[in-house]
Structure formats: C-alpha cells, structure tokens
Amino acid sequence: MIYNLHTHTERCNHAYGEDREFVENAIKAGIKVLGFSDHCPQFFNYKDYYSYFRMLPEMARDYAHSIRNLAKEYKDDIQILLGFEAEYYPAIYDEMIACSKKIGVDYLLLGQHLIGNEYDEHKFYKGEREGENFLTQHTNQVIEGLEKGTFTYLAHPDLVNYRGNHEHYIREMTRLCKKAKELGIPLEVNMLGMNNRRCYPNEKFWEIAGQVGNQAVIGFDAHTPDFFYKKDSYNRCVDLLLKNNLSPMSFEEIKIRKPY
C-alpha cells in the first residue's frame, strides 16, 4: 500500500496547486494514505525577520480547515492526515508546538534546513560547503530535536551538502543513525531529492543507515500535484533501500506521534 506523509501546499510560497488537486492526483496515483506536512509557521523572536519558504502564522487555521474538509469529503477514497514539516529551533520550539496544538495536527516531521534558530545562524543547507564544525552542529541539533519525542520521522536526514573530511562524515552520520534507531524514529528517503538529482539521498548515508539497521520510509516531498506520478523516482528510492538491506516500512508499522 502506497502512502506519503510528506506533502506541501502553496502556502509555503514554493509549492504549486490547490489542496484539492493534491488529493485528487494522489487518489489517481493509488495512494491510500496522504499526509499533508507543509512547512510550519515559525515564531521568530527577531525584529522584521521571517523566512520566505514557509507559511505565515495567520495561514495555519485555513490550512487545517482546508485539509480536514478534504479528509471528510474524500474519506471513502483516501485517508488524509494533517501535519507539519517543522524545524527544531530551540528558542522558538515551544511556540511551534503550541501552534501545532492549536490547529490540532496529527503529526510532525522534522526537516532541519538550517541551524541555530535560523535568524541567528543563517546557514542554509543548499550549496553549503561548510566545514566539520557545521556538520557536527547540524547533527547535534537534529539529535536534540529527535529527543523531544514529538517528531514522527526525520525527513531528508542526509540533506547537508558536506564535502569535507570523509571519516568525519561517517562518524557524524553513524551517530545520527544510531540515535534515530535507539529512539525508534524512521529516516526518510526523500523522493524530491531523488527526482531532482539533488545532493540527497546520499548514497554513503544510506550505506551507513543500512549498517546500523534503521527503519526507513519514502517521503515524496510533493510540491506539485503531478509529483505523485513519478513512479520511476519512487522505484529508485526503493532500490536504494534494498541495495542497503533496508525496505520501506508499511504505513501500519509507522508510529504516528502526537506532538502535544
């Protein structure tokens, strides 16, 4: 049974299509469980700062309303869940959880794109070629986030475009994989990255996850409604797992963690 817990909406400014189109295309593509996990609003304690790639706080209610209504309307064809893809930013974590509670999300994915609290250490993953320190900081922050016990899975765990010392990469990613395993948190093979030939999924990372024996899921990371038809990219994600003696979990095996 195909499921996908990683779906965006146009509220985040870099996804396209109406919510309904995502649902209807997912049904046509044979998806049985569809989780919306748009980029969560963040509540920055910093004057005039707001990042452009996530929904604004005032959009959260409309998001919840729209997804819950679609869930009712299409309940005979597909199960729809409401979630967020969120960052773990220590200084504003509580506000993020409060917002999730207010609109009643079913689950959160951890998708760590930046470190610090974003406004203080504005280091975006994309094209970054930061040194060992950055990788360690990123790993520490992700682990601290996972330890909160509020995230259902870790999206694109291999997102950092690290080009430094190879041993250091192995050491840090082994530490991350072991911690995720210990906490019972699955890791995501990101299908958007696979489809768009980004620096993730990282072959080396999945080799490590295979050795550690992590639980794995495939997340579409759909930013357009037609993305559900990318069968070829999906199969390549499956192949990557199989090659490393892993296989995608079934939906029933995933523990959906309520974040509040």
Q: Which positions touch Zn ion (CB under 5 A)?
A: 85, 221
Name the residue nearer to Zn ion (CB basis): 242 or 256. 256
Q: How far is the CB of 78 from Zn ion (least distance, A)?
A: 20
Contact 34/81 with Cβ under 8 angstroms? yes
Q: How far is the CB of 190 from Zn ion (least distance, A)?
A: 8
Q: How far is the CB of 20 from Zn ion (least distance, A)?
A: 19
Q: How far is the CB of 69 from Zn ion (least distance, A)?
A: 23
Name the residue nearer to Zn ion (CB basis): 87 or 221. 221
Contact 223/195 with Cβ under 8 angstroms? no
Query: Closest by alpha carbon to 221, among 238, 209, 233?
Result: 233
Query: Closest by alpha carbon to 244, among 197, 198, 211, 218?
Result: 211
Q: How far is the CB of 4 from Zn ion (least distance, A)?
A: 11
The rounded distance, in Å, linking the Cα atoms of 114 and 55 is 16
Name the residue nearer to Zn ion (CB basis): 9 or 117. 9
Name the residue nearer to Zn ion (CB basis): 19 or 221. 221
Name the residue nearer to Zn ion (CB basis): 158 or 221. 221
List helix spans (H) across the chain: 19-28, 60-73, 93-103, 132-146, 166-183, 191-195, 203-212, 231-243
Contacts of 239 by beta carbon, 8 Å cutoff, 6+ apart: none
Nearest residue to Zn ion, using CB?
A: 221
